[in-house]
Amino acid sequence: MQEHNKQFDYKVWMQQFPYPEHKEGSAEFNSMTIASWVICYGHLIFVIYIVKRVVEEKANGSKELLKMMGMTNCTYWTSTFVNYFMIAFINALVIAILYKTPMKNAFVLFKHTNFIILFIFLLLFLTSLILLCMTCSIFFNRPIFAILTMLFVYVISFSMLMSQYFFYNTEDKYFALSVGNKLGICLLPTGALLTAFQITYMYEASAEGVQWNNIAEFSLIPDMSMLVTLAMMLVSCVLFVIAIWYFDAVWPWQPGVPKPFYFLFTKNYWCGDKAANSEDGIEIMGGDSGSDFFEVEPSGMYPGVVIKNLSKDFRSGITSKLAVNNVSLKIYQGQITALLGHNGAGKTTTINILTGLFTPTSGTASINGFDILRETANARGGFGVCPQHNVLYDTLTVEEHLRIYAALKGVRWSQLTNEATQVLDIIKLTDKRHELVKNLSGGMKRKLSLGIAIVGGSKVLFLDEPTSGMDVEARRGVWDALLEIRRERTVILTTHYMEEADILGDRIAIMADGEIQCCGSPMFLKQKFGTGYHLHVVKDQNFNMQGLTSLLKKYVPEVTVENELEKDISFRMSSTTGNEFGDMFEELEGHKNKLGVISFGITITTMEDVFLNLMGSNTLLAMFAFGGMCDSIIDMQLLWLEVTWREE
């Protein structure tokens, strides 16, 4: 440089403008990308496990049984969440420790980020993921469909957001999104995860990391702060909780009685409703209370269950099946009411409606004064259920089952062992109290299901074929137990066994084609539909048919031959009292040799006779086709009251 002919010597030097410490290169970026992939896809098994278990509990009926026995929706979902949250807590802690631990060549993925902040955002991600899985499970009744749908939503949402977050050099779609859209993305667990990783990467690149002093500062990419991201995670958790509460209450395509979509705006939901008078407006058999097929209602007894014009129509496309047709019935406290009918008669459907498993097409019912449609939770609070199929937990013991359901019924913690012991003594499973359920026989499992219904002092018992699969000895033991506990309870029992209904039933209602055909005490039904008495005679080669018939008609004018074989013959005698049988048997005993009679015996009318006489031959054929009554007819022989005179 020269000025006014003067020469100046100078030196030129350059220095880079000062900047904060930072990292260059793609290694950290690639590591961050891989870390997000590991967290997302590493929890696929966790997602499958949650959805599968929750939907399975609904599909096998255990969820509804818990609710029937007193568990509220809030308690059920809270316990489910806590179960998986404990797993999520451990996962988040382990992942946070691994990401803060030096790896090969002293590389630390989140070297500068605060450990607590890292742990919190991982835990919130897993929490929102759990709640999303629980929300998804509400809309499915089959685990496989729920799993496939959840995986599709989870993987697709992560992949689409990944392409916009981590490949912003070639895709600038994310930057065109509004703030509202970016906040909406953070409501998805995968969206919040990717946003948090992107923010963390930007702060790690500047060797600062996410700290408490910069948690509210907006990062250039993705133009969000970690505090806002964590807040949106919390908001998403709250929204998922609200969705679970609402949709579980109103979703109609699942077991249980759904509430109307506007239920949260009704006074009854928040304030409750007074128990209705169960006597009001009840008409037995839709107004046919004067029919000869129905015995006069007992006076001075409290009806624990009142059914009014109940109907259930199952529709599938253009076809429909009327399973229950305008059923009205009163079931009284201190009695066992047996509900008889062939397979498909509507017995189990009626029980399922009363217990809140199905919604009736029309009509209603009340249990201890609480309407099953408007006050389902209150109605369920006082009854116990033994379902047709066992709903048990293989990994729990017999005593643990009883303790759980006793606790749901409100039994104090200090009394659980005593309550379980009493029930075990009733159902004769004391020696199996510490046995795992998976090691029990089928009959013992049925006994345990009965014990679950009894435990906690349930005032109303719904027993759907409680003795199915039991041998004769075990069945008789259950009968003794039911007769012992019925005094202060209302018991409704469905069964295929005629002798079971005859022995246990104070009143018996017979169903066919969804309707109650008759109802009354066993004696009333036998007198109304019975065929009288049956005389069975073993004859020899000198048998005198005319002489025997004349002798019988001398005492019982209405005598007809019921069945005749080579060695024996049966007569049907229409006697209403049986007082004349003593003299008839004495004369028959004295003339046996003359009449060619080896031995004879008499049987009374049984419930089998009543049932078959009422149903008719067509129903009988259908009954055998379904295989529901074969064992009953064989076992019936064991209970015939037979008086046989033989030669000494």
DSSP, res 517: E
Of 174, 116, 136, whose CA–CA distance to 48 is shortest? Answer: 136
Instruction: Average the pLDDT over each of 44-53, 314-323, 418-427, 488-497 and give the range with the smallest value.
Output: 314-323
Q: What is the pTM of this model?
A: 0.77
3-state secondary structure of 568: strand
Every domain range in the chain assigned CATH 3.40.50.300: 303-522
pLDDT (mean) for 45-66:
92
Band the pLDDT of 339: cuts 50, 70, 90: very high
CA of residue 407 relative to chain centroid, distance: 18
State how far the Cα of 371 lies from the Cα of 354, in Å rounded to an integer: 10
Element containing residue 422 per DSSP (H, E): helix 416-427
pLDDT at residue 177, rounded to an integer:
66
Predicted confidence (pLDDT) per residue in 571-614, tens digit? 988 765 667 788 888 999 998 989 999 999 988 888 888 887 77
Span 489-513, average pLDDT: 91
* Per-residue pLDDT, 490: 95
CATH superfamily, domain 531-604, is Ribosomal protein S10 (3.30.70.600)
Helices of type H across 510-606: 522-529, 545-555, 581-590, 592-595
73: tokens are 């929706």
Please report the pLDDT score of residue 556 as a whole number. 86
- Check: CB of residue 69 under 8 Å from CB of residue 409: yes
pLDDT in tens, 520-542: 999 888 888 877 788 899 999 88
pLDDT per position as a tens digit, 172-182 = 555 566 778 88
Under the banding of pLDDT at 50, 70 and 90, the label for residue 112 is: confident
In the predicted structure, residue 20 carries a pLDDT above the cut 90 = no
421-462 pLDDT tens trace: 999 999 999 999 999 999 999 999 999 999 999 999 899 999
Residues of the chain with CATH 3.30.70.600: 531-604
The CATH architecture assigned to 303-522 reads 3-Layer(aba) Sandwich (3.40)
Q: How many beta carbons lie within 10 A of that of residue 8, not counting itself?
A: 7
Per-residue model confidence (pLDDT) at position 184 = 87
Res. 634: pLDDT tops 50: no
Query: Contact, 535 vs 570, CB < 8 A?
Result: yes
As a whole number, mean pLDDT of residues 159-170 equals 60
Q: Determine the pLDDT at residue 603.
A: 83
Return the minimum-mean-pLDDT range out of 2-11, 290-299, 405-414, 555-564. 2-11
At residue 597, the pLDDT reads 92
Nearest to 455, CA basis, from 396, 490, 410, 390? 410
Q: Which residues 6+ apart lie within 8 Å of 248 measured at CB?
A: 73, 77, 138
pLDDT > 70 fraction of the chain, expressed in percent and rounded: 83
Q: How far apart are CA 305 and CA 568, in angstroms?
A: 48
Looking only at the bridges linking them, the beta strands covering 490-495 and 460-464 are parallel
* Cis peptide preceding 222, ω within 30 of 0: yes
Q: What is the mean pLDDT of the chain?
A: 83
- Please determine, for residue 284, whether its predicted confidence score (pLDDT) is greater than 50: no
Question: What pLDDT score does 642 carry?
Answer: 35
Average pLDDT over residues 26-48: 78
